[in-house]
A and B are shown apart, each in its own frame.
Chain A
């Protein structure tokens, strides 16, 4: 085989910053990702942090690449530990080629550590607190990004601070930049990143922001929630938009109040969202069932973290699928969606409001800490046909909220909109919504509610095939494992294997049947300990999952890890 005369330099580098909470990792991540994107590089950042305000050991991984990337790596090309704990925590992931930059004065001895005297440089610029700007400057200098951009960024970032602070940070960053440039000249880190003009105008958004934007695009104008990681980011984002968009935002006294408020809001004509995590959603269970009984639209953002109980509050897991599927007592239809990418997080959240309204039932958007705290550049979010279709009717004097119909759907009226009365009841009720113990009616009303479930399949979202359709092995995943599976499969080129990503988890899309039948070997990848989706798949499609590739230590799958685990399981090609 002909080999290129020029050495193939990496077009994808992985930078990891580690330190205690309060050491500025978030500031550095925000600055670096923004500057890298603005310079035309694709970026992807994901976090690992502990449940505390100060101390602990947190880290952020920033991938910089010539092409789009959105999955975490095991590999570290450039590591910047801000304290000794970060070095200890992450040193198992370091390889011979990993470049380790750090302030020798603040770190234990580590072979190969290149001294980056952050504190000294910051102090020379006027204050040790400028260290984050030094770090940003050093990385930007190392990667060869223009200093002017960094300078513009700092002036904006600190625009509401006194001029001495702006000046100090600029000096500190410039000194860091010089340090980075000098290091680049030594050739210690080699790469060939290609900047793309088109990327500079991309959006740079986190999962939480994208869910919030999807809610706004879906016409959400009411959010009531109780703060709980990792679901709080969506609540905070929407609170920031409340003035501009006229949203009603309420921090409820508990999750029970939050969901009952959301149902009251929908009843009165608002489009309401609750954002929570597993423990909070467990408290919402009765209210979720109420949505089923009164046939109220409802959108729940269920942000997963490892359980049971309080679990690992700031880590990730896909462990609440069964909770979502079985939420609420009694029998009633609902919809569970799990976005795989930030684009999908936007489009599915937007769609959730319309589907909830159209079918008058609760919809769960199932995400997790990994997806919500991930940050990446995306070209656009689809704002076409933004005006949501108004699903409610103006009532007349004969209006009955639960008119028995062939589709199971009864026109939804609002109090104060028309001559009729809108009565909803958590008890079994008659067509007018009044309490009833008529057992014939009970059967009719149950059937009516469940008829919506089959109607719902008309809008089912087909799973997405990753790779070529001439596969022997099919690897199924759902939700946030989309990108990591895509990238791992990409690294297994030439093998007859494809992926199948589900973003509608309930009711399961009938379109999946043919793909599943075609598979000679069926594997499922998911971030939990029991293979919840694998079991669901076997039951729903009458198939056999040969192996469940699981992870439940609180961290997301990395590309290398998944590739290696897939490789060891793949059937030899014919």
Chain B
């Protein structure tokens, strides 16, 4: 398949010119095309924010739900029909702020889904306030003396919780982006891709040049099978490593452990109601 197969004609894209979201959309389409995932088999869930509008700009099934709540919806969609490829997509405020609790607990469940987080370290849609990943000192219309909180480190949190796939990419590195997206989608289990991107309108600190200067690819010698190494690399804050930090095949996949799929692989909607079983259940209740 080609990336163009995912194009939606005549759409009015709500992003600012130069927004990092355009690059993410391009990476996503390319990765999906190379994996030959038909739009009819792909569901993208999202929350609210400029990043969460992404699924509207490609050919896919969409569940664009509430702010912060893309992960619970994605988990349930996968659990109701494991044959679908499921991606949850949104921004840093959506996924790490409003949806922070779901972030933690989705990692604990480990459903087979890909979690794409556009991380521009600022709130875009609400016009420039701090996000959980904003760096200390970032001055905003709301944090007028600069952000005074420790920035949220999604990678170290995910690795601490034993997430089964943890990666970071930068929108400026297209090839690596496509490779990591593909690996994340193919991974069996929860896969986090934190995507560094500039916000050209509201974040004057973390610009394209800043990211170029403050990121570098993980060396080939990095062992993604080592959780200790991965955690140490995730804690680097001066210059941010890019690539696959951690990957584990040991974790069991949420929906595969559900008794609903122990003997029957059909999605729930294809199953008839088992009236005999219900009758039996009632009959048992009638006796001593």
Contacts and interface: CB of A to CB of B under 8 A. Distances in A.
Given A264-B80, A265-B80, A417-B269, A387 B275 contact: yes
Contact of B66 (A213, A246, A260): A260
Contacts of A414: 81, 269
Contacts of B69: 256-257, 260, 287
Nearest to B82: A268
Given A217-B278, A264-B76, A423 B62 contact: yes
Given A254-B101, A383-B278, A242 B260 contact: yes
A129 to B, nearest CB: 23
A243 B259 contact: yes
30 contacts: A38-B288, A153-B288, A219-B273, A221-B260, A222-B79, A224-B76, A246-B274, A253-B102, A254-B101, A256-B69, A256-B102, A257-B105, A260-B65, A260-B66, A260-B69, A264-B45, A264-B73, A267-B73, A268-B81, A268-B269, A269-B267, A270-B76, A294-B65, A415-B77, A421-B40, A421-B61, A422-B61, A423-B56, A424-B62, A425-B56
Contacts of B286: 201-203
Candidate in A388, A416, A417 with the most chain B CB atoms within 10 angstroms: A416
Contacts of A252: 72, 105
Q: Which 3 residue pairs of A and B lie closest in terms of their CB atoms, listed nearest first?
A: A269-B269, A264-B76, A264-B73
Contacts of A246: 259-260, 264, 268, 271, 274
A421 B64 contact: no
B244 interface: no
Candidate in A221, A261, A262, A294 with the most chain B CB atoms within 10 angstroms: A261
Contacts of A269: 80-81, 267-270
A571 interface: no
B126 interface: no
Interface of B: 11, 14, 39-41, 43, 45, 48, 53, 56, 59-66, 69, 72-77, 79-81, 83-84, 101-102, 104-105, 109, 258-260, 262, 264, 267-275, 277-279, 281-282, 285-286, 288
Contact of A149 (B65, B102, B279, B288): B288
A274 to B, nearest CB: 11
Do most interface residues of chain A lie in helix, strand or loop, or is the interface mixed? mixed
A429 to B, nearest CB: 8
A427 B67 CA distance: 11
Contact of A426 (B66, B72, B267): B66
Contacts of A425: 56, 62, 64
A43 interface: no
A550 B256 CA distance: 50
A98 interface: no
A268 B260 contact: no
A386 B278 contact: yes
Given A213-B278, A253-B101, A270-B269, A435 B53 contact: yes
A416 B40 contact: yes
Contacts of B59: 421
A261 B270 CA distance: 19
B260 to A, nearest CB: 4
B11 to A, nearest CB: 8
B64 A264 contact: no
Candidate in B262, B264, B268, B285 with the most chain A CB atoms within 10 angstroms: B268
Candidate in B11, B73, B262, B282 with the most chain A CB atoms within 10 angstroms: B73
B101 A257 contact: yes
Contact of B74 (A149, A250, A254, A264): A264
B275 A263 contact: no
A257 B100 CA distance: 11
Given A222-B268, A383-B279, 6 more contacts: A202-B286, A264-B73, A268-B269, A386-B275, A416-B267, A427-B48
Interface in A400-438: 414-427, 433-435
Nearest to B278: A216
Given A260-B69, A265-B79, A386-B278, A415 B84 contact: yes
